[in-house]
Structure 1
């Protein structure tokens, strides 16, 4: 299941990590309004889309640990 997200995507999710998939998506969408970097904006859009495409049960099974 974690293969769905790259290391960079997982790190972004960890920034907004919550028990609620919807809250993570909401946080990413709110942050996108303030992002000037094209690559980071693209990453944010991609992650939000992937999170929207999975269910809450799948999200709950994700192992989310930020990589250093």
Structure 2
């Protein structure tokens, strides 16, 4: 399963750049960038904090998606 997110959309709608959101969440701008690109899965604490700061349900930002695993 892959963790899919649309963090960038919600961040932009809220009027934050990556650095601003990072400060509010307590992580670096680089971490926000990595999450948005799907190169880093945030901890539960960070994901919940992001949702709280943006004022949306965590399920609106993050979702698990099935992957086709070929053997």
Length-normalised TM-score, structure 2: 0.28
Say which structure is richer in helix.
Answer: 1
TM-score when normalising by structure 1 = 0.29
| Higher strand content, 1 or 2 | 2
